Every structure is written in structure tokens, then in C-alpha cells.
Amino acid sequence: MALKARNADYIREYNRKAVLRLLRRNPMSRAQLARDTGLTRAATSLIADELLSEGVLMELSPKSSGRGRCAIPLAVSPDRYLALGVFLSRTGCCAGLCDFSGNLLCRRPLELTDDPVEDIVRTLEELLETVDRSKVVGIGISSPGPLDTKAGRILNPPRFDRWHGMDIGPILSERMGMPAYLEHDACALALHQLEQGSSRDFLFLLVNSGVGSGIVSNGRLLGGTGHFTGELGHTTIRFDGRRCECGNRGCLEAYAAIPNLLEGSRFASWKELIDEADSEDARILLDREGEYLAAGVINLMNLIPLDTVYLAGDVGYGSDLLGERLKREIATRALSRDRGAVEVLPADLRPEAVILSAGDIVFSRFLTV
Ligand SMILES: [Zn+2]
């Protein structure tokens, strides 16, 4: 009996979360919900009524379908669940508060002193002063890797020394009294890109002083949040190539990370390179970056289906110049080139995307049974 009850509880929770996942961005009627979840109309209505009575869902104004009764669209109540987001990076950290529908309610820069944990806690407490704390379901922390996401620990990302070995997840969870989840920045941004209704089979490439990747296959982040999610930057593009900080040789990151690409050139940054893209030496470097990244992308395309590559980080600036080179390389070299072209697109580059992506870490966990 106990097992049956547990199974019934699990199924109920599973179905509730399936309904919430669908409604999170797109309002829909009970009939459409039933179609998309595969549940019966009766079961869908039961769940919807339950969530309505809890204030998790709300009914929008009926939409006429032209004939018969008007369907009443259901939507999530945006402020019923909230998430705190913490974005850690080498070029500036920030924190914010996001609602369940993916709106940024508030954003604060993180002014870090010698005690960054205290700085983060103080900022998060300030953010919580503006809302009902019981609605906040957790804290999402986005950071450059390598990370131990399961333990919530930042390992040893290059040029990120002050955070090395810090159990940031457990520390913030204990200090703030709520769950805290650590995730690779590229994976968090890939989740956010997925929430924007993008492709369901894509690679999110975050190229700056490292090469981070988030891989979405069949509408799911590969491995899911909190698990191993792939490190395209540390796949080999030259087996006898340069030593990489990870200990291997010839990693994509050892060539395509911007400081490595620009080493020995007259350009101090990616922006400088793009601003002088017409010059001969800039063109050579841009071609080279396209070739490096294509090598990594093609390796991945030979393992899983991909239809889109999103470019973010430094290479988001002037991404069309790199994008056209990358597309050209893929089109001529990939084994799957006959199955249709791969799109190379700029990622969501709005300043709030980084906080929303940290919030998406929380909601992704919250909506997983
Ligand atoms: Zn490496």
C-alpha cells in the first residue's frame, strides 16, 4: 500500500510539473494542455483546478475560436514563484530577482570586497526585502567552470582564483535558508536560450577567456542541471598540440579562447579585432577562429544532431563576421552537411540575460520531479 501511495504521489507531482513546464511561457487552454501533456481532459482539468486554487495558475480572458464556447487560456501567476540569481564572471558579477515567467524584477551589481560571500549575502538580503520571501524557491549561481555542480563547489577556473575551492552552493544555501544550485555559465545560458523558444537541438558556445559550452539535445540540456554537461572547450582539435590548463594537449580552448587566439598579434581584445575586421591580419585571425571553432562543432555534430549554434561571450560582438566563417567551414567539412545547413546565430545578449539564466537554473530544478 505504501508503495502504491508513493507511486500515486510521484505521478501526481510529475503531472503537475509537466503542466507548469508547458504553461510557464505560453498560456493555453485545458484542451490544448491535455493534447500536449497526453493526459485525459478530466485529469488535466483536475490538475488545473488544483493549481488555480493554490494561486499558481490564473485564468486569462477567454479567446473566441470562431465557433462554440470560448476557450479560457490558463497561465502561470508570474509572481507565485520567484528565484534569486547570482552571476559570477571575471568581468563583473551581479545578482537579481526573477519571476516564474522569466521577467527580471530587480538587478544589482555585486560590489565585491575581501569577503565576497558576505557581499553576496548582503545583496541577496536586500533583494528579498522587496518581496514575500516564502515565494522564493531557490538561488541559482552561474559561474565559469570547472565546477563540481553536484557539490556546489567552484573548482579551479583559470583567472578566477578568489573563488577556487569555494563551496558556494552549500554556503549560500545555509546562509539564506533555501536551496542553492551551482551551474556552468554556458549551461545556464543554454537553458535560458531554450526558454526563449529556440531550436531544440543546439550548441551554446560561450567564447571569451575560455570556451564554455551548453548542449541541448531534443529540447533538454545534455545531462540536465547539476550533472556532467560536456566540455567542448576541452575536446582535442590537435592531438599533439599546445598544453592546456586541464592537463590535456591540443584542446579547443587552448586555441580558440580569445587571449590564446590574439597572442602575439597587435590586438588586445576581440572588440579591437572586429573593429578592424577589414585589415589583412584581422581577417587571418577571424578565419582562424572560424576554423578552430568549426573543428569543435563538427566533432560534436558527429556525435549528436545539431541544427543551430548560438554564439555568446566576447564573440557575440560582431558575431555575423565569425558566424559566416563558421557556417562556411561546417558546410564544407561536416559529415552531416547534406542533412541541411546549420544556423549560426547570436545568443540573447541583453544585459538581463545573465541573471535570468541564473534564475532558470532554479526553475529547471524546481520543475524536475
Ligand atoms: Zn583542456
Query: 244 C-alpha vs ligand 1 centroid, how far in Å?
Result: 5
Three cell numbers written together for 332? 564544407
Tell how far the Cα of 71 is from the centroid of ligand 1, in angstroms.
54
Burial of 206 (0-12, 13-18, 19+ CB in 10 A): buried
Sorting pLDDT into bands at 50, 70 and 90, what band is 245? confident
What pLDDT, on the 0 to 100 scale, is given for residue 224?
61
> Ligand 1 centroid vs 208 CA: distance in angstroms?
15
Q: pLDDT tens, 65-75? A: 566 667 889 99
Alpha helices (H) in the chain, listed in sequence order: 2-23, 30-37, 41-53, 116-128, 168-176, 185-195, 252-256, 258-262, 270-275, 280-301, 319-333, 353-366
- For 132-186, the pLDDT digits (tens) are 999 999 999 999 888 899 999 999 887 788 999 999 999 999 999 999 999 999 9
- pLDDT of the residue at 340: 65
308-313 and 343-346 strand pairing = parallel
User: Is residue 250 predicted with pLDDT exceeding 90?
Assistant: yes
According to DSSP, residue 234 is labeled: G
Q: How far is the CA of 248 from the centre of ligand 1 (A)?
A: 5
The neighbour count for residue 113, using CB atoms within 10 Å, is 7
Q: How many CB atoms sit inside 10 A of residue 284's CB?
A: 11
Residue 231 CA to ligand 1 centre (angstroms): 9
Q: How far is the CA of 234 from the centre of ligand 1 (A)?
A: 4
The predicted model gives 260-265 an average pLDDT of 96
Q: What pLDDT shows up at residue 338?
A: 59
How far, in Å, from the CA of 260 to the mean position of ligand 1?
Answer: 13
The mean pLDDT of 188-213, rounded to a whole number, is: 90
Interval 309-332 mean pLDDT: 93
CA of 247 to the centre of ligand 1 (A): 6
Q: Which residues contact 89 (CB under 8 A, 6 or more apart)?
A: 143, 144, 185, 354
What is the reported pLDDT for 65? 59
Question: Nine-digit cell at 66?
Answer: 470562431
* 3-state secondary structure (DSSP) of residue 229: coil
Alpha helix (H) residue ranges in 132-264: 168-176, 185-195, 252-256, 258-262
194 alpha carbon – ligand 1 mean position (Å) = 27
Burial class (CB in 10 A: 0-12, 13-18, 19+), 130: exposed
pLDDT(1) > 60: no
Per-residue pLDDT band for 116 (boundaries 50, 70, 90) equals very high
Cα–Cα distance between 187 and 225 in angstroms, integer?
Answer: 8
**DSSP code for 315:** G
Alpha carbon of 276 to ligand 1 centroid (Å): 30
Ligand 1 centroid to Cα of residue 211, in Å, is: 10
Specify whether the CB–CB gap between 229 and 246 falls below 8 A.
no
Residue 264: other Cβ atoms inside 10 A: 5
Ligand 1 center from residue 210 Cα (angstroms): 10
* pLDDT, position 291: 96
Burial class (CB in 10 A: 0-12, 13-18, 19+), 276: middle
Domains in the chain with CATH codes: 2-76 (1.10.10.10), 82-189+352-366 (3.30.420.40), 198-346 (3.30.420.40)
- Whether 292 has a pLDDT exceeding 90, the answer reads yes
Q: Which three cell numbers stand for residue 95?
A: 545578482
When pLDDT is cut at 50, 70 and 90, the band that residue 227 belongs to is: low
Average the pLDDT over each of 4-18, 251-265, 313-327 and give the range with the smallest value: 4-18
Q: Worst-scoring range by mean pLDDT, 51-55, 218-222, 288-292, 310-314?
A: 218-222
Q: Which pLDDT value is given to residue 332? A: 86
Under a CB-based contact definition with an 8 Å cutoff, are residues 73 and 85 in contact?
no
* pLDDT of 247 above 90: no
Q: What is the pLDDT of residue 10?
A: 87
